[in-house]
Structure 1
Amino acid sequence: MRAHNFYLPPYLKALTVMLFIIVLVFFLIVGKGLLVPIFMGGFFAILFTPLSNFLEKHKFPRTLACFISLLLMTALVVGLISFVISNVVSFTKDFTNVTDRLVGVAGEIDQWTLSKFGINENLEDKIDSNALIEYLNQNSKSITAFALNAIGSISGLVLIPIFMFFLLLYRDHLTKMMVMIYREKDPVLVKMRISSLRKLIQSYIVGVGKVMIILAILNITAYSLIGIKHAIFFGIIGAILNIIPYIGPLIGVSLPVIYSFLTMDSILYPVLVLGAYQIIQFLEGNFLTPKIVGGNVNLNAFITFLGLLVGGSIWGIAGMILVIPTLAILREIFDLSEHTKPFALLLGEEKEDIKYLPEDENTE
């Protein structure tokens, strides 16, 4: 029997795509608690695959090689969590001196308005120190809780290392599955694309890690020279948040700016922090990221920005971190099939000549 192509009218195709998007978003929202650890475990598995391969080449059983990789990842994550929690608890205690700082600023404003306009609002006398201290103490607890929740949503607690271990252990099964899905393609070609995809994600993660370390060193050096307390904490947090495009760097610099304004005795400190931030971001955007990370993910700016908005609205901080490498993976998968190549083109940033189809010559 001859195979007949199944034809859908354009409006049914559009309706099908819309329904698929609705179901997908619903699935992502409902399954957040399970999907976030799976995705994080998958990226950690990709990152630690070279280590596992190295150990296996030196006669380590795959199970033991995966377990050693798991221990190293766990040590890194636990160390980072401990560092963040201890520093958040520490620097929020410094807010007890904020009232004195605000009273001093209010006095300076009163003197300036009196000398310039002959107006004295007595702002200094209107500050309720006890109420302010109580408010800051409550918000200090909120800051700590926010940090703990953010870390918990990203780390996935126990599930991330479990998923990482099994994805490392059964990575050959996943390759065989992709070969079976795209069985009309050359198996060697599919394996090459999978290997290329794995290297792409590894290069992206390692490159981002290198940029993060350099930014942390630059931030810590700048904040220490300025005289900001907890310079190491603010420097590292700013470097980590930098992995979230556009939004992350702004959050990273707002923390030391607000802290220095509330705890230091001069407005010069937050101004210097902003100046250092501008210089470091210029170096990162024009030299560090282009040279180290390069165009590994190869996504256009619109898709990146839209992905951040969607990822953040669905999965919060974890979604904003995961969305960029996830879109890069989808782009490579879409590029495997002629039917999905238009979606790969939509996600990518390279300019390709679009060949318009001529009008149907058979139309009578």
Structure 2
Amino acid sequence: MISLIYQKKGATSKMKKQFSIIGILLAAVLFLCIPTKSDQALAADSSTRATSKLVHGVHTTYQKRDPFTNQLSDFAKEYEASTLNSSYRSTEPYPGLGLRNFKIIKTTYLSITESGNYNFKTSGNLGMSLMINDSPNYGTPIYLSAGQIVKIKFESWDIGQVINPTLGLYSHIEWISPSMRPTTSFAAIPIEKLYTTPDLQGITIEKPNKLVNGVHSIYQKRNVQSGQWEHFAAAYEAKTLDSSYRLVEPYPGLGLRNYKIIKTAYIPITESGTYNFSMTGNLGNSLMINDSPNYGLPLYLSAGQVMKVKYEVWDIGQINDPTFGLYSHIKWITPSMRPTTTPTFIPIEKLFTTPDLQGVEQ
């Protein structure tokens, strides 16, 4: 009897040990199956981002110069669907970079389709340096053969030549290709000729599925015969309400004459009080706030409101040569900025593409 009881106790103890081991194993499996915070974050991130190929454009490195050590350090790098030209008027080349003590390095690849002599010319009020196939080029003709892939590296930097950088900073590169001769007039290198990679296949880039901060832009072209505005293009853009162009079309193919740009954005009001808006530039302009015209008069807004801003600008032929620079800016004074009377630009972080502030699918 005693022996039997002992055996039962031993069996019970053994079973307890087995259940205990099984329990530990199950707990471990369950723990491994539970997604960690980083797993969840990665899953969420992958669901809100998409990849695409950027074939035409440039790779841009933005650098900032330390005024004390005079050393340049990388500020930002990215592939961009833009040309080799740079043009800024009261607009930073890159958010936070400023309008002083910067350098921009743009690299791209040209696919040569015809053999012959090519001429490249740079112009602007920034310091500039041009490298073709890693060799300096100072404007002398260069012979290129059909089938070549030519690497172009164009650097431009602030040299303090313009006392007030808000008047306009720019650096441009133009060319004459063999088929353009006998002309001696240089032309801009179109983005369709520029490739982000030497294999011409493009670079895979990641972008958010949603564009939250920015504007909705409508580009229109005026029919010179009828005088009517005709739709040209529309897009959601990661841009501010401002417009600034120098030898660069507002939209590819739109030209620098007879156009209109209509930008719409939404601003969540975080403080109640009086707001002032002012416009400057050499383009015609019209401002609508909450679908009512605003001519610079103070406007009372309440915290919690979502304000709709619609800003239209158009070419009115005020500048004989539009390549000197066309621009239109909108600035504001918010309640917390007072007693200042100096308006400032409305940052992109304040502008939303949709009234629900959730962004638009791209």
Task: Give TM class, smaller chain.
Answer: under 0.3
Which protein has the bigger helix share? 1
> Structure 2 length as normaliser, TM-score?
0.23
Which protein has the bigger strand share? 2
Larger RCO (alpha carbons 8 Å, 6+ apart): 1
- Choose 1 or 2 for highest CA Rg: 2
> Structure 1 length as normaliser, TM-score?
0.23
